[in-house]
Amino acid sequence: MLSYQHAYHAGNFADVHKHLVLYAVVDHLLRKPSPITFIDTHAGRGVYPLDAPETQRLDEYRQGALPLWQARHRQADQPLLSAWLGEIAGLQPRGSRLERYPGSPWWLAQRLRGDDRLRLFELHPGEHDQLAQQALPPNAQRIHGDGLAGLVQALPVSTPRLCVLIDPSYERKEEYAEVADTVCAAMRKARHAVLLVWYPLLPAGRHHALLERLRDGGLRKVWRSELTLRQPGDERGMYGSGMLVANPPWGLDERLAAAMARVTPLLGEASRYTADWWVEE
């Protein structure tokens, strides 16, 4: 039974982290003309109105996208962050107020070129109905189904390059192992794929099982990036956001570090950003 709805969390600090990494990866991949298949295994709704009752209930974007938005005019000399904020600005109906926050399908569809492909998986019927209301380019396909199984079935793809985002809700603790096994299976079928995995940093530390299983799974190059808002033991709930990138584009670490040096002070005094190689050949 699926109960998670991303609208409750839209635009929070984890979305900021995840979508900045995604944006930087896509930006790099688009420098070359050869076509790319993008697969988003856990798509969610696509675009989130920030005045929706679910989003207003927790108002998490006030500790995420909003402080960045309010500081956007001071980021002109930070290329990655200013470009990312510029994309968000283009989505706002009235320009100056942050009224909508884009989810991963929007980030991917927005920059899709004619020969690229996009597959968006969403399992929750209500969330898939919401996604179906988003306008998508003709080379994007929505699939109401399991994104982990769907990913492995979709491989190999017909384009020379492949970029995958795996962004589960981790409602069940088994999902950590399922994600790791899927990543390993996908990388066996598409060794060149650039594959991104998001995971929450929670006091229970379940993400360690995911990381260890990936390290044992025969992957060659995995880069890890983590953004924390506070120390693990300070409060209950998610204290940080993690992203893994298998086969990261060259220079991604420097570009992210420079952007995150601007982001962390805006998210609070205790906010920290770290990145390292989790698996290196």
* Residues tagged active-site: 167
Q: Does 29 bind ligand SAM (CB under 6 A)?
A: no
In degrees and rounded to multiples of 5, residue 14 shows phi and psi of -70, -40
Q: Which of 37, 55, 63, 104 is the binder for ligand SAM (CB under 6 A)? A: 104
Question: Looking at beta carbons only, is 18 or 255 nearer to ligand SAM?
Answer: 18
CA 105/CA 45 separation, integer angstroms: 8
Q: Which of 148, 196, 227, 246 is the binder for ligand SAM (CB under 6 A)? A: 148
Q: Does 142 bind ligand SAM (CB under 6 A)?
A: no
Q: Does 239 bind ligand SAM (CB under 6 A)?
A: no
CB of 77 to ligand SAM, least distance (A): 27
Give the pair of three-digit tokens for residue 34: 């050869």
CA 275/CA 179 separation, integer angstroms: 21
Establish whether the linkage from the previous residue to 156 is cis, with ω within 30° of 0.
Answer: yes
CB of 165 to ligand SAM, least distance (A): 7
CB of 208 to ligand SAM, least distance (A): 20
**Count of residues of this chain found to bind ligand SAM when the rule CB under 6 A is applied:** 21
Q: Which of 60, 116, 167, 226 is the binder for ligand SAM (CB under 6 A)? A: 167
Judged by phi (left if over 0) then psi (alpha if -120 to 50, else beta), residue 177 lies in alpha
Q: Does 132 bind ligand SAM (CB under 6 A)?
A: no
Q: Does 110 bind ligand SAM (CB under 6 A)?
A: no
Considering only the stretches 117-125, 227-235, 237-245, 267-275, report the one whose residues sit in contact with ligand SAM under the rule CB under 6 A. 117-125
The strand order across the sheet containing 140-144 reads: 140-144, 117-122, 36-40, 161-166, 194-201, 240-246, 222-228, 272-279
Q: Does 146 bind ligand SAM (CB under 6 A)?
A: yes
Question: Looking at beta carbons only, is 200 or 279 nearer to ligand SAM?
Answer: 200
Q: Which of 25, 123, 163, 195 is the binder for ligand SAM (CB under 6 A)? A: 123
Question: Looking at beta carbons only, is 163 or 279 nearer to ligand SAM?
Answer: 163
Give the pair of three-digit tokens for residue 114: 């004619």
Q: Does 130 bind ligand SAM (CB under 6 A)?
A: no
Question: Looking at beta carbons only, is 75 or 182 nearer to ligand SAM?
Answer: 182
Question: Looking at beta carbons only, is 41 or 241 nearer to ligand SAM?
Answer: 41
Judged by phi (left if over 0) then psi (alpha if -120 to 50, else beta), residue 117 lies in beta
| Residue from 180, 196, 187, 247 nearest 39 by CA | 196
Give the pair of three-digit tokens for residue 32: 């070359």
Contacts 24+ apart (CB under 8 A), 253-258: 253/223, 253/225, 255/24, 255/79, 255/80, 256/20, 256/21, 256/24, 256/80, 256/225, 258/78, 258/80
Enumerate binding residues for ligand SAM (CB under 6 A).
2, 4, 6, 18, 41-44, 103-104, 121-124, 127, 146-148, 167-169
